[in-house]
Structure 1
Amino acid sequence: MAVDCLKLPSLTPAERNTWSQAVSRDWQALSKAPPAVRADPRMGLAAVRQDWRAFQFAYQNLRENKEFVLEVLKTSGFTLQFASEALRCNREVVLEAVRQDGCAVRHAFYQSFREDFDIMKEAIANDWRSYEYASTELKKNKDLALFAIEQSWEALQFIDEEMLLGCRYGMYHTGFCPFHQELHDNLDVMTAAVSQKGEAGTGTK
């Protein structure tokens, strides 16, 4: 339930002006601000526009406000991690987050979002590395796999291993791969992707 800001201790005009100036100069001032400041949409937005991490210091009422969260997501999709649980369950909010930063999908509350073809495609379109967070079942989807590869060859390291090996086998024995004609000339890349499979989750993102 959203916090009723009217119940928060009020600020004098002088105090509000002082905090407004402090937050405008340094977003980290929000972390030391009283609740009435952290609950103020204008000051919260001023801080977040300097650095998206400021959203973690926003008061509960702002982190539960869908309209406000959609606004701060424009600064960075990673602000999703500081939104309320209910909003991290909201498809519209999650979709906006991944459109800004594909890897923000890992902060969605429901695992089912990683099984959602449309959401994962939007995420991959923004950042091919988000393909790592697709569900095991969705990684078996050839259309999504091809889309990820089209964004970057490095996405091969996250493709379902059975699918990748099957494609390699088909190329070797029949000259056919279900992905794309260009892969015919990249057997070495595919082999390297398989060998790197165990390290795929430890690389720098």
Structure 2
Amino acid sequence: MDWNNKEDVLFAILKNGNSLQIASEKLKDDKEVVLSAVNNWGWSLEFASDRLKDDPEVVKRAIKQNGGSLEFASDRLKDDPKIVIEACKNNYEALKWASDNLKNNFEVVMEAVKNDGRSLKWASKKLKNNIEIVIEACKQKGGALSYASPEIQNNKEVVLEAVKNDGYFLLYASENLKNNKDVVLEAVKNDPFSLKWASEKMKNDKDIVLKAVENKGWTLLYASPELKDNKEIVLEAVKNDGVALGFASDRLKNDKEIVLQAVKQDSIAIEHASRRLQNDRNIVSEVVKENQNNFVRIGKEFREKYPTVEAFLNSEKDISKDNSWSKGNDLDSSKAWTDKVNNDKSNDFER
């Protein structure tokens, strides 16, 4: 391979644009060769001659392939609004390589954040404090709020746009707005996990916590101690995720209605029930119905009485038989229930 031979280099570049770095200095200054390289791999602009790094046609081809190649353009072209805007359309990080002048240019930055809000990271301090710019960035990417000025992070209109896009980014709101019900409610509607970032006051707001646990029961973790002891809240949480019982107050871990609902949703939740309810026959029956493998998680006293799930199921048959005779019924209903449990057992591997 002769790296001074234009035909050889052009052939190599067709396979890999990065091959330009091995070409001779003469061919790195050959427009045809460099255009071929940047068409294949925009970053190969790095290896072009200074003359061609200042050639608008070459640079435009490079940024069309990858906007990040603006890094290797001449300072003159890094200060060209059209070229920078075009680069930002292809790669949100391209604004990083623009001139300081253009990082402070409203039109350029606006176009950049419209394409990807994360471009705000490289905007000037002045434009990070511009409401119009930041709102547009947050509409596109909620996380753009992290790059806004502290003043803008305390602007309700801007923060609402951010959390509408992604509630998680309540993280970057001011302490004042983390304590604002409208903002926090919008955030948890979008992402219940955002309850984590809310103020203590909002974590004690029933409307907000209810909205969070309805969609992600485990976010009960972030609720106030008072609401972890609220039956309505905890009941909604375990309906969505039985294991959320683990975050409930001790009092509600001893509430039979709540524990029944929890183990119906996920029988593993029995681990978080009170000792009394871990040994409750009705609760244990629900655990077995949901997944017999979790029989090992029930109360110690109950397992001492019924060491295996089979022993427990046989006791259930006996109870059903006694109840059927006492009511003057046949044993069909007992058999149907036992058959269902046995069928569940056979399907354990599918659960």
Q: TM-score when scaled to structure 1?
A: 0.73
Equivalenced residues, count: 175
Does the aligned pair in 2 maintain the 1:149–1:156 contact within 8 Å?
Answer: yes
List gaps (5 residues or longer) in structure 2. 1-25, 182-198, 224-351
Which entry has the higher C-alpha Rg, 1 or 2? 2
Q: 1:59 to 1:185 in 2, by over 3 A?
A: same
Q: For residue 137 of structure 1, report the CA deviation from its aligned partner.
A: 1.7
**Quick one: which amino acid aligns to residue 211 of structure 2?**
D
Q: 1:190 to 1:103 in 2, by over 3 A?
A: farther
RMSD, matched Cα: 2.9
Choose which of 60, 83, 98 in structure 1 pairs with 2:113. Answer: 98
* Cα displacement (A) at 1:191: 8.2
User: Which 5+ residue runs of structure 1 have no aligned equivalent?
Assistant: 1-10, 176-180, 194-205
Aligned partner of 2:101 in structure 1 is 86
1:57 aligned onto 2:83: no
Paired position in structure 2 for 1:122: 136
Question: Counterpart of 1:186?
Answer: 212
Tell which deviates more after alignment, 181-190 or 150-159. 181-190
Runs of at least 4 residues off by over 4 Å:
181-184, 187-193
Q: Assess, with a 3 A threshold, how the Cα gap between structure 1 residues 87 and 57 changes in structure 2: closer, same or farther.
A: same
Q: State the shift of 1:77 in Å.
A: 3.1
- The corresponding residue for 2:169 is 155
Partner of 1:29: 44
Residues 153, 159 of structure 2: 8 Å contact kept: yes
Q: CA deviation at 1:95?
A: 0.8
What corresponds to 1:131 in structure 2? Answer: 145
Q: Percent identity?
A: 24
Alignment of 1:160-179 (within 5 A): 160-165=174-179, 167=181, 169=201, 172=204
Distance 1:192 1:121, change over 3 A: farther
Which of these residues, 136, 155, 169, is aligned with residue 141 of structure 1?
155
Residues 1:42 and 1:154: Cα distance change in structure 2 (over 3 Å):
same
The structure, 1 or 2, with the larger RCO (C-alpha pairs under 8 Å, 6+ apart) is: 1
Aligned residue type for 2:150: T
Q: Counterparts of 1:89 and 1:158 in 2: how far apart (Å)?
A: 23
Letter in 1 for 2:38: V
* Cα deviations by residue, 1:9-58 (Å, 9 ceiling, x for unpaired): xx99x922222222222323211111221111121111112222211111
* TM-superposition CA deviations, 1:170-190 (whole Å, max 9, x none): 6847x6xxxxx7676238869
SS in 1 for 2:149: coil
